[in-house]
Chain A
Amino acid sequence: MAGGRFSLDLARPSRQHWLGYILLAPAVLLIAAIIIYPLFVSVDLSFQNVGIARLDQPRRPFTTANYERLFTSPDFWNACWVTLKLIVIVTSACCLLGLGTALLVNNRFKGRSLARLFVAMPWAVPEVIAVVIFAWIFDSSFGLMNWIFLSLGFIDKTINWFSDPTAAFAVVATTMVWKGYPFVSIMCLAGLQSIPDDYYAAARVDGANAWQRLIHITRPNLRPVLGVTTILVMLWIFRDFSIIYVLTGGGPLKATQTLSIMTYEQAFGFFRMGYASAIGVVTLIICVIAAKLMMSRAPENL
């Protein structure tokens, strides 16, 4: 009869749903092995006084010292603060720039698809390459930025972008905005294009001008897309490692050390993996809260 059946007839109505479980099995097993198990290991490590994780050796005694140290450490709170600052600044800039470019490219003109392609191109540039670009532009001796600022009279002597905490933060923020806005642009463009033309036609008939159409039609219809996108951008900034680590390493003086960077530093710079895992666990809790929030607001995003 039906070719290629195995003896277990899954086509029977009473057994059709078995396939659902069978299909999930590989994913569940793999995820359990490479994500869930490591997460447990991470939590486990955070309660031990561990330098380098040696999983084949007997566990160290349970201790909450890592967490105590964590919450009393000024570095930790600094990292939280830096992360927050970065998230707020970069997200706002990305959203403004992304929405602006989307609105611009949404108009009808010849070469529009080409413009769309170009405007979002930074998305396709690998993060470390973006770092190379901006590290050179912000080079203190011969970089473009200093030359432009000097020529325009903004400053009278060169800024050492990577030795000055505020300046370094600005460089990191700029690089992240450049890498981050295309995503917002792409999502907003898709959202804009899904707004039916009829809405605008009706508004025109009612006498609305361009600004009014933007406020009363575009904005409400775009709000869900923008909301989801904003959260995704924030999460990307939260967990980013490549850009900050390669650009400034978290310095100078921890001015650009986010939680992500700090976790890595403690683990592979100072080889305090127990302590680093504790920071990681705090990060994990923040992620879970964010996920639950997102699920309640936009359940169709799985």
Chain B
Amino acid sequence: MRQSPLARLFIYASVILTCAVLLFPIYWLVVTALSQPDQLRQLPPKFWPDEPRWSVFGKILEERPILLWLGNSALAALGAVTISMVVSVLAGYSLSRFRVRGGQSLGLFILTAKMLPATLLVIPLFGIFRMTGLIGSLWSIILAHATLIIPFTTWMLKGYFDTIPRELEQAAMVDGCSPWGALVRVILPVSAPGLAATALYGFVLSWSDYAYARTFLTNAQGNWTANLGITTMKGEYISNWADISAAAILVALPILAIYLFLERYLVGGLTAGSEK
């Protein structure tokens, strides 16, 4: 496609302008974090601090247990994703390959489950976890996150398995595998990229939860997840935006890193089922 130089210039300019505007909030976060706190109480705001305070990150890591928060988020995500993946891989495979009675209804249910607000399930789960003594434990949010993740990962995995030809299992069975053996020895190794992408998406889902963390973990400071920790900082620090911005950057870093390096896989998982 030949493009006139004018068109190319226009496109480049538009792209740069659009990216600048849309990513400005992230830039502003960085600027705020690096600014001196009293500088933030003055107008006009500076678009780059005179003396960027790089030490703010060290300071905030000492003052706040940010690494503990991140660790808890990671732990919860790990637990939730492991449980969810085991269950969804089996279920997704079953829905893809077998005509199960009630499979249609299960499909409809999973679709509905994807749309449920966390605020709906949080009430009964609160009651249940209260009764079983799980309030305050990471297990409460591991299970709660599983309710978020399983509907998505099951659907994604079913779609992914649909793209693998059935002849592969059939060949394995003729070669002497049981249907289970065919799944484990042939289909799973072949699906590794799809499984990884799905697990990654589940990880992001777990990480982004706030509702469950707030409800179940508020009184267990040692188990606070990153999202919960940040919001308590916002609650307290009505004035020290530099500190909270620095903390926010640290909390956002893991997911942003995952996004920047693995975007291809994440996006692939998102769009795989929907484009025809």
Instruction: Give the contacts of B95-142 with A (CB-CB under 8 A).
Output: 95, 97-100, 106-128, 130-131
In the assembled complex, which residues on chain A have CB atoms less than 8 Å from the CB atom of B45? 142, 144, 147
> With contacts A123-B259, A288-B112 known, is A241 near B245, CB below 8 A?
no
A85 vs B106: C-alpha distance in the bound complex, in angstroms? 32
Quick check: A142 and B259 within 8 Å, CB to CB?
no
Quick check: B258 and A301 within 8 Å, CB to CB?
no
Quick check: B97 and A20 within 8 Å, CB to CB?
yes
* A290 is an interface residue with CB less than 8 A from chain B: yes
Quick check: A117 and B263 within 8 Å, CB to CB?
yes
Quick check: B29 and A291 within 8 Å, CB to CB?
no
In the assembled complex, which residues on chain B have CB atoms less than 8 Å from the CB atom of A259? 117
Quick check: B158 and A302 within 8 Å, CB to CB?
yes
Cβ-closest chain B residue relative to A21: B100
Quick check: A287 and B87 within 8 Å, CB to CB?
no
A14 vs B144: C-alpha distance in the bound complex, in angstroms? 39
Cβ-closest chain A residue relative to B144: A34
* Contact for A2 among B3, B99, B181, CB less than 8 A: B181
Chain B proximity mask over A76-109: 1 for CB below 8 Å, otherwise 0: 0000000000000000000000000100110111
Quick check: A104 and B15 within 8 Å, CB to CB?
yes
In the assembled complex, which residues on chain B have CB atoms less than 8 Å from the CB atom of A127? 208, 210, 227
SS class, residues of chain A in contact with chain B:
helix
Quick check: B25 and A137 within 8 Å, CB to CB?
yes
A72 vs chain B, min Cβ distance (A) = 22
A260 vs B204: C-alpha distance in the bound complex, in angstroms? 22
Quick check: B179 and A19 within 8 Å, CB to CB?
yes
A35 vs B93: C-alpha distance in the bound complex, in angstroms? 21
Instruction: Give the contacts of B163-180 with A (CB-CB under 8 A).
Output: 173, 176-180
In the assembled complex, which residues on chain B have CB atoms less than 8 Å from the CB atom of A190? 267, 271, 274-275
Count A-B contacts at CB 8 Å.
317
* A277 is an interface residue with CB less than 8 A from chain B: yes
In the assembled complex, which residues on chain B have CB atoms less than 8 Å from the CB atom of A23? 90-91, 93-94, 98
Tally of B interface residues using CB under 8 Å: 106
Chain A proximity mask over B25-59: 1 for CB below 8 Å, otherwise 0: 11011001000000011111100000000000000
* Contact for B123 among A10, A108, A239, A276, CB less than 8 A: A276
Chain B proximity mask over A257-289: 1 for CB below 8 Å, otherwise 0: 001110110011000010011001001100110
Quick check: B108 and A128 within 8 Å, CB to CB?
no
Quick check: B180 and A19 within 8 Å, CB to CB?
yes
Quick check: A101 and B116 within 8 Å, CB to CB?
no
* Contact for A142 among B11, B41, B127, CB less than 8 A: B41
Q: Interface range on chain A: under 10, 10 to 19, 20 to 34, or 35 or more?
A: 35 or more
Chain B proximity mask over A39-57: 1 for CB below 8 Å, otherwise 0: 1011001000000011110
Cβ-closest chain B residue relative to A291: B112
In the assembled complex, which residues on chain A have CB atoms less than 8 Å from the CB atom of B87? 26-27, 30
B21 vs chain A, min Cβ distance (A) = 10
A95 vs B125: C-alpha distance in the bound complex, in angstroms? 34
In the assembled complex, which residues on chain A have CB atoms less than 8 Å from the CB atom of B113? 31, 35
Quick check: B126 and A301 within 8 Å, CB to CB?
no
* A65 is an interface residue with CB less than 8 A from chain B: no
In the assembled complex, which residues on chain A have CB atoms less than 8 Å from the CB atom of B144? 34
A123 vs B201: C-alpha distance in the bound complex, in angstroms? 12
A20 vs B90: C-alpha distance in the bound complex, in angstroms? 9
* A194 is an interface residue with CB less than 8 A from chain B: yes
Quick check: A104 and B14 within 8 Å, CB to CB?
yes
Quick check: B121 and A35 within 8 Å, CB to CB?
yes
> With contacts A191-B275, A241-B210, A246-B231 known, is A109 near B178, CB below 8 A?
no
In the assembled complex, which residues on chain A have CB atoms less than 8 Å from the CB atom of B230? 128-129, 132
Quick check: A11 and B215 within 8 Å, CB to CB?
no
A118 vs B244: C-alpha distance in the bound complex, in angstroms? 24
In the assembled complex, which residues on chain A have CB atoms less than 8 Å from the CB atom of B126? 53, 267-268, 273
Known pairs A268-B215, A301-B155. 9 more at Cβ < 8 A? A5-B181, A10-B179, A11-B179, A23-B98, A24-B106, A34-B143, A41-B124, A287-B112, A287-B115
- 5 residue pairs bridging A and B, Cβ less than 8 Å apart: A20-B100, A27-B154, A117-B263, A264-B122, A267-B122
- 10 closest cross-chain pairs (CB), A and B: A20-B98, A53-B127, A239-B117, A124-B259, A27-B91, A38-B124, A41-B124, A23-B94, A242-B210, A190-B271
